[in-house]
Structure 1
Amino acid sequence: MRSLLVIHSHSGHVSGREHAGSSWQAGPEQLLESNGYLTLRCRNESEIKQLIHDADAAVLNIPVGKIGMWSGRLEQAKAIPLLWWCSAESALSPTESCEANVPVDGILIPSMAAHELNWVLHFSAKRFFERQHWRSERKQLTARLEERKWIDMAKGILGEVNGIPEAEAYDLLRKKAMNERKRIVDVAISIVRAHQMLKA
């Protein structure tokens, strides 16, 4: 992980030193670049699609409550690890704004030493791949449950129309799928939809 997309909550952000009277706060760019990382500054939403393809991860310098919205936008362009920049300012956000499903893989703080930063980025990448794996498994499980629903409905229809038990209805459905060289769920969907049209 060498190249990081840095997203700020407002487009007029100036990286590095932020002047607020006589004080300044180091931004994520300063921490990352001083430790040998390349930063890609995202000034507005339209730049995401241009910059994200060169990024290994994204650092969100935004309030906690906006993380969900921004993660969705980033996900549409490219799935990458997400890290939250927890500055003194953003840490003042109320804890209620941190939803249980906020997809953050790691947290960066301004006072991090080089070895701490390296470990956080390492564990963030690992957490991201685990999150992607679980998301993929959940998607597959949801698809299987949806397929099972169509197959069960088709078995019920075939059983009712032919006056046969469920086991025989399933065998009939399976044979029909084999004969038509189709997936059993595709045959089941066509049976259910044809039945619904006849009943309408």
Structure 2
Amino acid sequence: MRSLLVIRVEPTIAASSDAIPLTPERLLGANGYHVQVTASETEALKLSAEAEASILHLSLVDVEYWVRCLGKGKTNTPLLWWCAPDTASSSVESCEVEASLDGILTPSMIGPEIHWTLHFAAKRYMERKQWEQERKQLQSRLEDRKWIDMAKAILCDLKQISESEAYDLLRKRAMDERKRMVDVATAIVKAHQLLQS
């Protein structure tokens, strides 16, 4: 992982006029990473497609918004948060964000720590994406099951048959029509609802 994107909305202000703030791009650049910085949503969506990870140098209040924004662009890279000293002193309540982040970077990290944090963030990201896909599949199966159960109940009521007989009837109809069982069940439920109204 060598190409990174830093998203920062507000410029970092130094504590004193002599101090130069340690920004993620300075730290990462000093450790051999190619870093691009943006504050624009449009540019962030474009650049995130090319980057291997995105680092959010934002207040926790802005993190949720930017995670949603990057999600719209189907960003397929790990998301990390830059935990600056001013944010680290925030209250515990302000840390309650509803965003999925894959890692945290801090200004005190050294080269190997940055490398391993990025490595673990990439691993965490892959696991998170796999969980999201499994969750979608389970939700889809539950939705299919709901249609099938409703169709079985309708068939049981109309034909005065048992649940297992209704299931067999649905399955046979699906095989005869070369359709998925849920498609046949959905058609039965919708037709029944139409006739009832």
Tell me the amino acid that sits aligned with residue 8 of structure 1.
R
Q: 1:41 aligns with which of 33, 37, 43?
A: 37
Matched, 1:163 2:154: no
Tell me the amino acid that sits aligned with residue 2 of structure 1.
R
Q: Secondary structure of the residue that 2:21 maps to in structure 1?
A: strand
Q: Which has the higher strand share?
A: 1
Following superposition of structure 1 onto structure 2, how do residues 62-81 of structure 1 map, counting pairs within 5 Å?
62-77=58-73, 78-81=75-78
**Identity across aligned pairs (percent)?**
49
C-alpha distance in structure 1 between counterparts of 2:27 and 2:34, whole Å: 11
Tell me the amino acid that sits aligned with residue 149 of structure 1.
K
Following superposition of structure 1 onto structure 2, how do residues 79-98 of structure 1 map, counting pairs within 5 Å?
79-98=76-95
Asked if 2 retains the 8 angstrom alpha-carbon contact of 1:62 and 1:90, the reply is: no
Residue number in structure 1 paired with 2:195: 198
Matched, 1:133 2:130: yes
Tell me the amino acid that sits aligned with residue 29 of structure 1.
E
Measured on the aligned residues, the alpha-carbon RMSD in Å equals 1.6
Report the alpha carbon displacement of residue 100 of structure 1 after superposing the two structures with TM. 6.0
Mind listing any 5+ residue stretches in structure 2 that lack a counterpart?
A: none
Matched, 1:32 2:21: no
Matched, 1:56 2:66: no
Over residues 86-138 of structure 1, what are the superposed CA-to-partner deviations in whole Å (9 max), with x where a residue is unaligned? 11122233221222643111111112110111110111111111111111111
TM-score by length of 1: 0.92
1:190–1:20 distance in 2 versus 1, CA, 3 Å: farther
Comparing 150-159 with 58-67, greater Cα deviation is found at 58-67
Q: Secondary structure of the residue that 1:89 maps to in structure 2?
A: helix
Residue number in structure 1 paired with 2:6: 6
Asked if 1 retains the 8 angstrom alpha-carbon contact of 2:5 and 2:53, the reply is: yes
The count of aligned residue pairs is: 196
Asked if 2 retains the 8 angstrom alpha-carbon contact of 1:63 and 1:93, the reply is: no
Q: Secondary structure of the residue that 1:107 maps to in structure 2?
A: strand
Over residues 164-189 of structure 1, what are the superposed CA-to-partner deviations in whole Å (9 max), with x where a residue is unaligned? 00000000001111111110001111
Asked if 2 retains the 8 angstrom alpha-carbon contact of 1:155 and 1:170, the reply is: yes
TM-score by length of 2: 0.93
Q: Secondary structure of the residue that 1:152 maps to in structure 2?
A: helix
Report the alpha carbon displacement of residue 5 of structure 1 after superposing the two structures with TM. 1.0
Comparing 42-51 with 98-107, greater Cα deviation is found at 98-107
Mind listing any 5+ residue stretches in structure 1 that lack a counterpart?
A: none
